[in-house]
Structure formats: C-alpha cells, structure tokens
Amino acid sequence: MHREVRNAAAWAGLLTLALGALIVAGSRSLAHFDAALVAYTFASLFAVFGITYRYAIWLQRPPTAVYWRRGFELFLRRGHLGSNLRLLVTRLVSDFGTNAFIWKRDKLRGLTHMLLMWGCVLAAAITFPLVFGWLHFEAMPDRPDWYRPVVFGFATPAFPVRSLVAFLIFHGLVWSAFLVMGGVMLAMRRRMRDEGAAAVQFFAEDMLPLILLFAVSLSGLLLTVSYTWLAGYGYEFLALFHAITVIVTLLWLPFGKLFHVFQRPAQLGVAFYKDVAARSEPASCARCGHAFASRMHVRDLETVEAALGYRYDDPGEVGHYQRICPRCRRALVALAQAALARGPSSRRAALPAPMPSYANPGLGEGPLGSEDRDNFHP
Amino acid sequence: MPVPESHEFFIDPRRCIGCNACVQACTECDTHKGHAMIQLDYVDRGASPQTVPVVCMHCDSPTCAEVCPADAIKRTGDGVVQTARKPRCIGCNNCVLACPFGVPKMSTGMNLMMKCDMCYDRTSIGKKPMCASVCPSQALFFGTREEMARLRPASRVLNVFRFGNQTITTRVNMLVPGQAFVESLDVLSALHEPAAGNDAAENVLLDGMEAPHAG
C-alpha cells in the first residue's frame, strides 16, 4: 500500500472514530440518540470517512501540498498574525458569506449559489445535530407548553411552543428546502438554456447533485405537507423516500461536485500566498528581463513541476523554462517556428529582448484584471 | 458529444496578419462569454509587424491541469483541455504561470482562471471554433488533415514541442515547412531569434537608437 493511501486511510479512520465518539458524548451515551435515525448516522460516518480520505489524498498532491504548507507558514508568520486574521475575516465574509466572486461572474449565478449554499448550510446545521443526538427538545416539567432545546446535553433558554420563534425553529428545514429548491431551479434553468454550460457539463458532475438536492428538499417538504394537512397520509412511504435521497446524497458527497464544499476553503491559503507574493521580490523573465509573478511562486512551481515528473529544466542559459514570462513563451513558440522556415537568424539578438505586447488590448484581448496584468508585466 | 477525431486545429503563426478578427470572434464563444481567450501579441512592436496568435494547444499531458491544486482543469476524452471548472478554481495562478505556451488568463474579480477550450460549445456539435472560422489568412485553421494537405502542400504538421528537457505533445498542430526534418519544435532554441523582419537590412528605423531593453 502506498504511503499516501496509508496516511489518508489513517486520517479517515481517525476522524470517523472521532465523530463516533462525539455522537456518544453529545447524545449523553446515546440516551438522546434516536434509533430511527441510525441509517442517517451510518451514512454520515461513511461520508466523513470518504471525504477525509479524498481530502487527505488530495492534500498530498504536490501542488496542493505546497499551497497547504505555505498557506499555514505565511499565515502564522511572526508579526503578521494580526493583519492575517483581518484578511481571514474579510475573505470569510466576502468569499464565503456573500460569495462576492460568484456575483461578479453573473448576478443570477450569484443568487443561485447563495440560495443553494445557505439552504444547505441551514439544513446541515439543523439535521446533523438532531441525527447525532446533539440536539433535542424537552418539555419543561412545570410549563408543558414551553420547550427547552438541549444542546450536547446542556440546557439552553426555553421558548413557548406556540410562538413565532417556535414556528420558525420547528420549520427550519422547510425554509432551507425552499431556499435549496429555488437555487436548484435557477441552476437547472441555466444548464438548460446556456449553450456554453450545456456543452461542458457532465450528468454525474453537474446534473446529479442538483437532482439529489431537489429530491431531498422536495421529499422533506412533502413530509411536512403530509403531517400538517393530510393527517399523515403516505407518511411512511415519504419518510422512506426522504431517507433514501438523504443517504444517497451523503454517500455521494466524497465523490462528486459537492466535494468542492470542502476544497473551496483552500482559496483562503491562496489569499495569504498571493498577499505575500505581491509584496515580495518579483521574478525577472530570462528573455525580456521584465518582472512577472513573484520569485517565490516561480521557485515553488519549479519544485512542484519536478515533483510531478516534468523536466522543464534547461541545460542552456535559461536554467529552467519556468523563468520565461508567459508573453515571451508565446513569442518563442512562434519565433522557433519561423526559424524552421527561414533558418536561424544570422544576427543573434541580445538579451534582454523586447517584451512582446498585446496586439490590441482594446478589443478585450488584454488582461482580465490587475492580477492578469501583474502576471505578465510589472 | 465529442469533438470528431478527424477534425483538428492547425496553427501557423507565420501567416498571422494581426487583423484581430480572431480576438473579436473569440469573445462571442459561449463558453467564456464576452472575453477573448485568444492571445495575440506583437513579438517586437517597434521593429517588426510580426504577430503571434496563441490558442490553447490542448496538451496530452497538460501542465496547467497537473499543477492545479484544486483539480479544476479537466481534459475531456476527446483531448480537449477545458477551462477551469468554476466551482473548483481557487484562482491561485499556478496554471497561468506553468503553461508552457503562456495561454491561461486570470480574472481577478471572478477569482477564476479562464482559457481557450477550443470553443467546445461549437466543436462538440461539428462546428469550427470561432477564431478559425473567421481567420482570413488561415493562420488558424480547423479541419481535416486531408484538407490541410490540399491547402498547404509544402507544409507538414508538427505537434511535439520541447521546452528544455521536457517534451509536450499537443492536440493542436503547428504547421512547419515540409523540408524541416525535425521531430519536435525546440522552443528555447529561439531565445536569441529576433522577430521576423527584424534583421540588419530592415533595421533602418532602429539605427542610431538604443537597443530595446527592459525598463
């Protein structure tokens, strides 16, 4: 067995056991664990194992490992912890709380993701504590019309059963289902009407997660409809159907698109990396001499490429192809091709050579933002 | 639907006249709406009219995808390396800096890498990529090898490139002279090549001027 697999399996086993222990502790030795929800619990344990295993394998890939290690290194740098914490909070709010970068891609897309994300977050925040026995409600002995939520065995403030607060809390999954279903419908609309999206989508990667989320939400809503207005008509079938949809979704978590929920926080590490890179010494192109990217990034990439088996090292004067800026790389391919046609030039051009320039950035061919500009020239 | 194996992309920078038609057409592709993914550069604006159109070469072993820490770049079964998958791309810049052809772009606001995906919305239903469909000089051409051989009998196609000690094979072909008996294009061999037209006889404009340098 490869070392990476052993490591990943060990981490996955450890976290699964940790969740098992938390379930026992949080439900006070299973006293508040609902046996009817045991299938959900085992599906969750499997999901934790699968997600951790894939995550650990993923973290051991050379490019991910570099960002992971460097991300923490740069975050914990002495004297920068304060500003790093500020950056962390800012990024958490803008990237995760409000999905600012997705709104910039497209407004409808931003709305779609917000509905899906917050719907799922709300549903998870309610469901998992209930399933694991970490949350239950107790009627107060002296006031039976009041309920007290008990979290992890600790009592929290009680509220009247017939109150707006109770209505909102007890229907939390209904609200989350509405959010998710709205998001799914908008996402489906895009996938059916947008030819670009339709061309590159895969059923398992893009459609299946939407179908699963819709099935979970709809079947959950129908349970509420059944016991609220239909005197429990078809409840047993609906409960079974809902359980199947939830369990399939949980089992699918480590494999499909929904895994991005766990990968996405990596962009926080990237933010610290970029922050440091922007202020550190730039690399100079070995051909045109212009600054591009940071020396740290270029060196890290040389290491990553070597670890991946690429041999971009050069026995000549450049040393490593990575030290050529992207613009000169584009020019070099054409210059090499032209030299094949007319033979090498009789006049060897001195370095640094002029930096290639966009033929017409005004037509939208130029940089796509400040970062793109920094990648290619100072 | 896959891009038909019989249909290939051919690129010949020597024929590029820098008209920008490809750039304009590229913005109309549905997979990256409104943004041109083709890179069109002057090699040496002050001394030569030589321009270079660069599309994604769709490498067999794409460095951009391998160095991606987020598994965001996928190569389809038909050999097309697609633009970063939006849910996964974390905007780290690795692909932009590692691509040996200098193709990907980074959209700062969207925190997203974007690149040419051979107009997959078109090529996967049998149409030509936008850029190749409008290129007036056939510097960019999409079709069969037979068509290419008929149109350019003096040229042959090459899809193996060398960067230092690394050899990369691509789905996109480059046209080279028929008599150039090389098995791969050694890109770094051109390090000291001046832009086409920039030689002693034509350099009257630069006489007496300082040599261009980094500034």
The encoded tokens of residue A249 equal: 């979704």
- pLDDT at B198 exceeding the cut of 80: no
CB contact under 8 A, A297 and B32: no
Distances (CA, A) of A217 to A116, A212, A222: 11, 9, 9
The encoded tokens of residue A134 equal: 């970490």
Phi, psi angles (nearest 5°) of residue A155:
-70, 145
At A371, the pLDDT band (50, 70, 90 cuts) reads confident
CB-closest option in B36, B109, B110 to A365: B36
Q: Is B173 on the interface with A (CB under 8 A)?
A: no
**Residue B179: what pLDDT?**
86
At B108, the pLDDT band (50, 70, 90 cuts) reads confident
CB-closest option in B14, B33, B38 to A337: B14
What are the chain A neighbours of B94 within 8 Å (beta carbons)? 63, 301, 304
Could you tell me the pTM of the whole model? Answer: 0.88
What are the chain B neighbours of A58 within 8 Å (beta carbons)? 71
Mutate to test the interface with A, among B114, B168, B187 (most CBs of A within 10 A): B187
Cα R_g (chain B), whole angstroms = 18
A250: closest CA of chain B, how far (Å): 19
Tell me the per-residue pLDDT of A192-227, one tens digit each, with 9 for 90 and over: 998 888 888 889 889 999 999 999 999 999 999 999
Residue B2: asked if its preceding bond is cis (omega within 30°), the reply is no
3-state helix, strand, coil in chain B (%, to 5): 20, 20, 55
Q: A87 near A279, Cβ under 8 Å?
A: no
At B209, the pLDDT band (50, 70, 90 cuts) reads low
Please tell me what DSSP assigns to residue A352: S
Strands A135-139 and A146-151 turn out to be antiparallel
Q: B187 near B162, Cβ under 8 Å?
A: yes
What are the chain B neighbours of A298 within 8 Å (beta carbons)? 97
What are the chain B neighbours of A349 within 8 Å (beta carbons)? 192-194, 198
Mean pLDDT, chain B, integer? 89
State which residue of chain B sits closest to A340, comparing Cα positions. Answer: B180
Mutate to test the interface with B, among A330, A342, A363, A370 (most CBs of B within 10 A): A330
> What stretches of chain B adopt beta strand conformation (E)?
8-11, 39-42, 51-54, 105-107, 112-114, 140-143, 155-163, 166-177, 185-186
- pLDDT at B78 exceeding the cut of 50: yes
- pLDDT at A375 exceeding the cut of 70: no
**What is the CA A287 to chain-centroid distance, rounded?**
38
Q: What is the mean pLDDT of residues B130-151?
A: 96
Residues of chain A above pLDDT 90, percent: 73
Phi, psi angles (nearest 5°) of residue A113:
-70, -35
First to last CA, chain B: 49
**Residue B1: what pLDDT?**
73
Helix axes A295-307, A266-279, angle to 10 degrees: 130
Alpha carbons B43 and A334: distance in angstroms, whole number? 9
Tell me the per-residue pLDDT of A179-197, one tens digit each, with 9 for 90 and over: 999 999 999 999 999 888 8
Phi, psi angles (nearest 5°) of residue B48:
-155, 145
What are the chain B neighbours of A104 within 8 Å (beta carbons)? 109-110
What residues contact residue B97 under an 8 Å CB cut-off, 6+ apart? A292, A293, A297, A298, A301, A322, A326, A375
Mean pLDDT, chain A, integer? 92
Distances (CA, A) of A344 to A318, B101, B202: 19, 21, 16
Alpha carbons A362 and A366: distance in angstroms, whole number? 7
The encoded tokens of residue A155 equal: 């009592």
Q: A359 near B26, Cβ under 8 Å?
A: no
What are the chain A neighbours of B38 within 8 Å (beta carbons)? 365
Taking only residues 128 to 157 of chain B, the set having a beta carbon closer than 8 angstroms to any beta carbon of chain A reads none
Q: What is the mean pLDDT of residues A324-353?
A: 90
- pLDDT at A368 exceeding the cut of 90: no
CB contact under 8 A, B196 and A338: yes
Tell me the per-residue pLDDT of B146-155, one tens digit each, with 9 for 90 and over: 999 999 999 9
Q: Can you tell me which residue has the tokens 């480059």?
A: B174
Taking only residues 60 to 89 of chain B, the set having a beta carbon closer than 8 angstroms to any beta carbon of chain A reads 63, 66-71, 82-83, 86-88
- pLDDT at B12 exceeding the cut of 80: yes
Beta-carbon neighbour count of residue A315 at 10 Å? 9
Q: A371 near B108, Cβ under 8 Å?
A: yes
CB contact under 8 A, A198 and B121: yes
CB-closest option in A64, A101, A194 to B109: A101
Q: What is the mean pLDDT of residues B185-205?
A: 78
CB contact under 8 A, B30 and A196: yes
What residues contact residue A181 under an 8 Å CB cut-off, 6+ apart? A119, A214, A217, A218, A221
- Within chain A, residue ranges assigned H as helices are 3-26, 38-59, 62-75, 81-91, 100-105, 107-131, 164-170, 172-193, 195-200, 208-229, 235-252, 260-263, 266-279, 295-307, 326-342, 370-376
Beta-carbon neighbour count of residue B33 at 10 Å? 12
- pLDDT at B215 exceeding the cut of 50: no
B19: closest CA of chain A, how far (Å): 9
What are the chain A neighbours of B73 within 8 Å (beta carbons)? none
Q: Which residues of A149-184 are buried (b: 16+ CB within 10 A; e: fewer)?
A: bbebeeeeeebebeeeebeeeeeebbebbebbbbbb
Alpha carbons A260 and A256: distance in angstroms, whole number? 8
- Stronger pLDDT, B201 or B180, i.e. the higher one: B180
Please tell me what DSSP assigns to residue A79: T
Distances (CA, A) of A211 to A109, A152, A248, A258, A283: 18, 33, 11, 12, 47
Alpha carbons B62 and B190: distance in angstroms, whole number? 22
Q: If DSSP codes are grouped into helix, strand and coil, which group holds residue B19?
A: coil
Closest CA to B157 of B145, B143, B139, B169: B145
